[in-house]
Chains A and B, each alone.
Chain A
Amino acid sequence: AQSVTQLDSQVPVFEEAPVELRCNYSSSVSVYLFWYVQYPNQGLQLLLKYLSGSTLVKGINGFEAEFNKSQTSFHLRKPSVHISDTAEYFCAVSPPGADKLIFGTGTRLQVFP
């Protein structure tokens, strides 16, 4: 079975500061990795995904994430955040061949002016 841990339930940060949202996963098999963003009262939007290849993945809105197999992590980063990045961020995994996504509990990013 797979599981996802997002250790930080909330991350407050000032505008234009860098941010890292942590994600660790547990799995006995290789998995695909995803980050989704959820704005208030909206559905989830895919930020980026790792299926294979380069361990540094670039996504939309200036976000990137790095897959670290030895540490079973897939942390999300942005070098300079904007007020509009305030949202809930979810890390998810999916074993190859499986159809469902397994989500972490989410990290609320709050960007202050």
Chain B
Amino acid sequence: NAGVMQNPRHLVRRRGQEARLRCSPMKGHSHVYWYRQLPEEGLKFMVYLQKENIIDESGMPKERFSAEFPKEGPSILRIQQVVRGDSAAYFCASSHARTNNEQFFGPGTRLTVL
């Protein structure tokens, strides 16, 4: 039973380009969470999605960031016009049900903006 999959594991972009991060939840999980880990900091919640719905995006920056979790396929975190401050590790987690069910984390995508 595969765990949470994230790709790519490493992504390098130049300022102004777009970054697309993908997350495939564990089999049977329909709840996806995205977290960002800046250097020397803990993880910060960004967004919580269920299939085709954004449930909580209170941690998402107001501009350039968007997330989706379509009916078919992985969840996508998109960052448009990246800046150096976007360099971080982005982790995806999934759970079977909402509300304090254990979240299983993927290995993360490390984004470097040159």
Docked complex Cα distance between A36 and B108 (Å):
15
Quick check: is B59 within 8 A (CB to CB) of the other chain? yes
Does B102 contact A49, Cβ atoms closer than 8 Å? yes
Contacts of A11-39 to chain B: CB distance below 8 A: 32, 36
Quick check: is A67 within 8 A (CB to CB) of the other chain? no
Does A45 contact B105, Cβ atoms closer than 8 Å? yes
Docked complex Cα distance between A4 and B41 (Å):
12
Number of A-B residue pairs having CB atoms within 8 Å of each other in the complex: 63
Mask: chain A, 94-113; 1 = CB below 8 Å from B; 0 = not: 10111111111110000000
Q: Number of contacting residues on B, CB 8 A?
A: 28
Distance in angstroms from B31 CB to nearest chain A CB is: 8
Beta-carbon nearest neighbor of B110 in chain A: A41
Quick check: is B4 within 8 A (CB to CB) of the other chain? yes
Does B102 contact A99, Cβ atoms closer than 8 Å? no
Quick check: is A44 within 8 A (CB to CB) of the other chain? yes
Query: Which B residues form the contact surface with A (CB < 8 A)?
Result: 4, 6, 31, 33, 35, 40-45, 48, 55-56, 58-59, 91, 93, 98-100, 102-108
Query: Which A residues form the contact surface with B (CB < 8 A)?
Result: 4, 6, 32, 36, 41-46, 49, 51, 90, 94, 96-106
